[in-house]
Amino acid sequence: MIVTISQNGILELPLALQEQLHEGDKYKVSMTDTSIVLEKVSQPLTVEEWFQRVEELGPDPDQLSLEEICEIVKEVRRERRTQQC
């Protein structure tokens, strides 16, 4: 695809590209000696989106049980007591 810069400095993208863009999307623009680069800036997730993604991941198969966590806490406390003496 070839585009032309207008006299006013406007770069009109071909319709095929325009159809892939959405109103409100933000892009970082940079230039090299031979090209203009547009990089989409990702929007931060809302709290709802974040929770939805976490939920979609499902439970962590490596997650420790409550009993295992309690045992680790007890062990650390024992170690600290012996170090303090």
18-37 residue pLDDT tens: 999 999 899 999 999 999 99
Cα torsion at 50, 55, 57, 58 (round to 10°)? 160
Q: Taking 80 as the threshold, does the pLDDT of residue 85 lie above it?
A: no
Q: 3-state SS of the chain: helix, strand, coil percent to 5? A: 40, 15, 45
27-76 residue pLDDT tens: 999 999 999 999 999 888 899 999 999 999 998 889 999 999 999 999 99
What is the β-pairing status of strands 27-31 and 36-40? antiparallel
CA distance 43 to 22: 13
Report yes or no on whether pTM surpasses 0.85. no
Number of domains in the chain: 1
| Mean of pLDDT values over 2-11 | 91
Q: What is the structure's pLDDT at 43?
A: 82
Which amino acid is present at 36?
Answer: I
Q: Taking 90 as the threshold, does the pLDDT of residue 1 lie above it?
A: no
Query: Residue 35 sits in which domain range?
Result: 1-85
CA distance 43 to 26: 8
Q: Which residue in the block uniquely carries the two structure tokens 């590209």?
A: 17
